Amino acid sequence: MLLADRYAELRETTRVRERALFPPQRTPTELELQARWFAGDFGKHFVTTAADKIDIVQFGTWNREAGPDFRDAAIRVNGGEPIRGCIELDVIDRSWETHGHATNPAFEETVLHVFVEKSDREFFTRTRSNRNVPQVCIDPTILSDAFSANISLARPGRCQSPLKDLPEERVHSVLDAAAQFRLQQKATRISRKIDDHGRDEALFQEVAAALGYKKNKLPFTLIAQRLSLKLVREKADDSEAMLFGVAGFLEAPDLGVFKRSTREYVRKLWDRWWPHRDEAQRLILPAKIWRLSGTRPLNHPQRRVAALSMLAREWPAFRRVLGKRSSFAANDFFSGLDHPFWKFHYTLTAKASPKAMALIGKSRVADILANVLFPFWLAEDADLWPEYAKLPAQLSNRRLETAATRLFGGDPRRRAFTKTVAHQQGLLQIYQDFCMRDNSDCAQCPFPEQMRKWT
Ligand code: SF4
């Protein structure tokens, strides 16, 4: 992908400038930090507060019992033999003490303590037997803002002028270059996740996150991390109930709150969830994690959890589709996912709809293709750029409209520049690399000058 390399060079021109003086301040929640740690977003090589090198050999699994957040993990200290044990992640280092972990035998197996904030006074992480646990301080400002995306609409930027004078093919070429770069970055990220979690688990987590787009990416990621594909496939008969249970959707104590048409379905879910509930108690998501306002009923998370459950059930067929490396085959697969209850229901408490609805709509499938499957195929060395470049865009969103306003303003070709998934992705990449890093109201942004030179 030569264009991607050219874009990478262009992007480097932004690096000489300082970071924004007032970057958006957002402290991720502990759950978000944990999800992103487990996803490998912070990387796997660290230096402890005592200057030892730590390599994460295995991120482990989310712990369902009392004790640290992740168990069955493995780390290397200064390149030594892998050490197996648990990993605890806190926002503040001293939480180890204030939460009573230092005296709790369940934390004895901890091999790594990860935190974001270091207290003023020196603090050592020690277990009940007085063993010193290596500490790693992570920096959430290195994260892209994948779990949040609320950017206000903007006015046209300085680059509007050179872009409007560029012939259409040249603008396409810039967008293609940025899109290829973005696709490669996604492929690299997925490839890393495959190294960390294996091919199937990595894909399961990625598709789950895409099903949560955009407001519920975090809870969907947590569900797929906490109930691995392996576990869900092993408990095939109970898997749908377990997914709904861990999502926190089966907490209502009274069947009376459900419509008659729903009661039988919910009762079946409860009956299958109840035997697992005590054991999985720690994994149940808090209700407040779900963002429901502004979500269209068709996209309600409960429908999407049902879709995730059907995907797990049909996993062997999904693997065959992956092997075909065709957007048409993938489209057919996702559009064909069906569910007797969710075909006619928006939520567990809503009235049944007289008309059948697709479990996963067209725009979601397009998003899964663009953000999961094509990057995954590229990670497996299949360069399907010509097919990717043809994918039609289904929807716009607030961030895209902001980017289009900044770069193209009132250019009559604006719509034509955002008609494909690839061009939308390219636009988002430019917005992220230039607009989001600009702190000069466009004055010092190198993009307009670079555009004049783009051939
Ligand atoms: S910051 Fe740069 S890329 Fe963004 S609108 Fe201004 S000139 Fe264009």
For range 18-43, the mean pLDDT: 72
Where do we find the tokens 């999800």? 35
Distance from residue 41's CA to the centre of ligand 1 (Å): 27
198 Cβ below 6 A of ligand 1? no
pLDDT for 448: 93
408 Cβ below 6 A of ligand 1? no
Q: Are strands 83-92 and 70-77 parallel, antiparallel or unpaired?
A: antiparallel
What proportion of the chain, given as a percentage, has pLDDT over 70? Answer: 94
For range 211-223, the mean pLDDT: 93
Contact 362, 334 (CB under 8 A): no
What are the CA-CA distances from residue 366 to residues 182, 331, 388, 422 (Å)? 16, 8, 11, 11
Distance from residue 22's CA to the centre of ligand 1 (Å): 17
Residue 447: pLDDT band with limits 50, 70, 90: very high
Whether residue 355 is preceded by a cis peptide bond, meaning omega within 30 degrees of 0, is no
Contact 393, 418 (CB under 8 A): yes
260-287 exposure pattern, b = at least 16 Cβ within 10 A, e = fewer: eebeebbeebbebbeebbeeeeebbbee
This prediction has a pTM of 0.80
Q: Are strands 135-137 and 110-117 parallel, antiparallel or unpaired?
A: parallel
Rg of the chain over Cα atoms, rounded to whole angstroms, equals: 24
448 Cβ below 6 A of ligand 1? yes
- DSSP, collapsed to helix, strand or coil, labels residue 77 as strand
447 Cβ below 6 A of ligand 1? yes
pLDDT exceeds 60 at position 67: yes
pLDDT for 81: 93
pLDDT for 24: 47
pLDDT for 150: 41
Residue 219: pLDDT band with limits 50, 70, 90: very high
Distance from residue 431's CA to the centre of ligand 1 (Å): 8
Which of 13, 14, 152, 159 has most ligand 1 atoms within 8 Å of CB, for mutation? Answer: 159
Atom of ligand 1 nearest to the CA of 437: 1
164 Cβ below 6 A of ligand 1? no
Contact 171, 163 (CB under 8 A): yes
Distance from residue 404's CA to the centre of ligand 1 (Å): 11
446 Cβ below 6 A of ligand 1? no
Q: Token pair for residue 327?
A: 């957007």
For residues 273 and 280, give the distance between their C-alpha atoms in angstroms, rounded to a whole number: 10
pLDDT exceeds 70 at position 26: no
Alpha helices in 247-373 (DSSP H): 260-280, 301-313, 315-324, 327-336, 362-368
pLDDT for 16: 46
- DSSP, collapsed to helix, strand or coil, labels residue 59 as coil
Of 357 and 61, the one with more pLDDT: 357
Of all protein residues, the one whose alpha carbon is nearest to atom 5 of ligand 1 is: 157
For range 42-50, the mean pLDDT: 94
pLDDT for 50: 94
159 Cβ below 6 A of ligand 1? yes
For range 271-291, the mean pLDDT: 93
CB-based contacts of 55: which residues, under 8 Å, 6+ apart? 44, 45, 75, 76, 79
Of all protein residues, the one whose alpha carbon is nearest to atom 8 of ligand 1 is: 159
Highest mean pLDDT among 26-30, 147-151, 212-216, 371-375: 371-375
For residues 313 and 175, give the distance between their C-alpha atoms in angstroms, rounded to a whole number: 38
Range with the lowest mean pLDDT among 71-85, 95-109, 136-150, 172-186? Answer: 136-150
Atom of ligand 1 nearest to the CA of 440: 1
Distance from residue 146's CA to the centre of ligand 1 (Å): 21
pLDDT for 23: 43
Atom of ligand 1 nearest to the CA of 406: 5
Where do we find the tokens 């935190």? 115
For residues 220 and 369, give the distance between their C-alpha atoms in angstroms, rounded to a whole number: 18
1-23 tens-digit pLDDT: 678 898 998 888 755 444 443 34
Residue 421: pLDDT band with limits 50, 70, 90: very high
pLDDT exceeds 80 at position 209: yes
Of 106 and 295, the one with more pLDDT: 106
3 Cβ below 6 A of ligand 1? no
Of all protein residues, the one whose alpha carbon is nearest to atom 2 of ligand 1 is: 445
406 Cβ below 6 A of ligand 1? yes
What are the CA-CA distances from residue 358 to residues 166, 285, 355, 370 (Å)? 42, 26, 10, 20
Chain-wide mean pLDDT for the chain?
89
Contact 88, 107 (CB under 8 A): yes
445 Cβ below 6 A of ligand 1? yes
Distance from residue 371's CA to the centre of ligand 1 (Å): 25
- DSSP, collapsed to helix, strand or coil, labels residue 342 as coil
Of all protein residues, the one whose alpha carbon is nearest to atom 1 of ligand 1 is: 435
Residue 145: pLDDT band with limits 50, 70, 90: low
pLDDT for 22: 39
Q: Are strands 70-77 and 53-58 parallel, antiparallel or unpaired?
A: antiparallel
pLDDT for 18: 42
Torsion over CA: 305, 363, 200, 423 (sign): negative
pLDDT for 1: 64
For residues 178 and 328, give the distance between their C-alpha atoms in angstroms, rounded to a whole number: 25
Question: What is 177-209 written as a DSSP string?
Answer: HHHHHHHHHHHHHHHHHHHHH-HHHHHHHHHHH
What does the domain layout of the chain look like in residue ranges?
30-142, 199-324+335-359
Phi, psi of 256 (to 5 degrees): -60, -20
Structural element, H or E, at residue 71: strand 70-77
Residue 287: pLDDT band with limits 50, 70, 90: very high
Question: What is 211-261 written as a DSSP string?
Answer: HTTTTTHHHHHHHHHHS-HHHHHHTTTTHHHHHHHHTTTT----GGGS-HH
Distance from residue 409's CA to the centre of ligand 1 (Å): 11
Structural element, H or E, at residue 421: helix 421-430
pLDDT for 144: 64
136 Cβ below 6 A of ligand 1? no
91-144 tens-digit pLDDT: 999 999 999 999 999 999 999 999 999 888 889 999 999 999 999 999 888 876
User: By C-alpha distance, which of 368, 222, 347 is closest to 282?
Assistant: 222
Distance from residue 447's CA to the centre of ligand 1 (Å): 6
